[in-house]
Amino acid sequence: MESISYKTQSANKATVQRGWVVVDADSQILGRLASQVARIIRGKHKASYTPHVDCGDRVIVINADKIRLTGKKWDNKQYIRHTGYPGGQRVATPKQLKAKSASLIVESAVRGMLPKNRLGRKLFKNLYVYNDGAHPHEAQNPKEVKF
């Protein structure tokens, strides 16, 4: 009898198949949407997923201004940042960020779900968030995904 040897295939830059995906954030809950988007950007939905390689798809999120937050998060949730100067801690609520740009809320949620290293910073560049329903990526023929 012959023994069969199986070899695990590890993806690399040359073998990765990348695509484009459109996600509509209209009336979606922020955290649930962000976790699914981060999963696609990371590439965990593919059989060829490799943890140390950027093997995910590029994700376009449209209608970011129609995102939902549950409970009293519009007023009570806080986004904290620091300017780098003494006494430079700044706090903003989702309501204040939405007034500036609703895409900042979605970007912050997805960034928090990606790895905190150089791969995570590279993966974050595969996210494109737009406040309305239009986007300039029609030439890439993105497929629409529903959650």
Predicted confidence (pLDDT) per residue in 56-65, tens digit: 999 999 999 9
Count of C-beta atoms within a 10 Å radius of residue 69: 18
Lowest mean pLDDT among 2-6, 103-107, 138-142: 2-6
Q: Which DSSP symbol is given to 2? A: P
Beta strands 127-129; 143-145: pairing state: unpaired
Q: Mean of the pLDDT values across residues 109-134?
A: 97
- Answer yes or no: are the C-beta atoms of 113 and 33 closer than 8 Å: no
For residue 77, how far is the Cα from the chain centroid? 20
- CB burial of 96-109 (b: ≥16 within 10 Å; e: otherwise) equals ebbeeebbbbbbbb
Q: 20-145: which CATH number, 3.90.600.10, 3.90.1180.10, 3.40.50.300, 3.40.50.1260?
A: 3.90.1180.10
**Residue 98's pLDDT band (cuts 50, 70, 90):** very high
Give me the mean pLDDT over the 83-103 stretch.
97
- For position 147, what pLDDT does the model report? 84
Chain-wide mean pLDDT for the chain? 95
Give the count of beta carbons closer than 10 Å to the beta carbon of residue 113.
Answer: 16
Q: At 5, is the pLDDT very low, low, confident or very high (cuts 50, 70, 90)?
A: confident
The residues, any chain, with a CB within 8 Å of residue 49's CB and separated by 6 or more, are: 11, 42, 43, 55
Q: What is the C-alpha to C-alpha distance for residues 39 and 64, in angstroms, rounded to an integer?
A: 18
Between residues 1 and 78, the one the model is more confident about: 78
Per-residue pLDDT at 1: 62
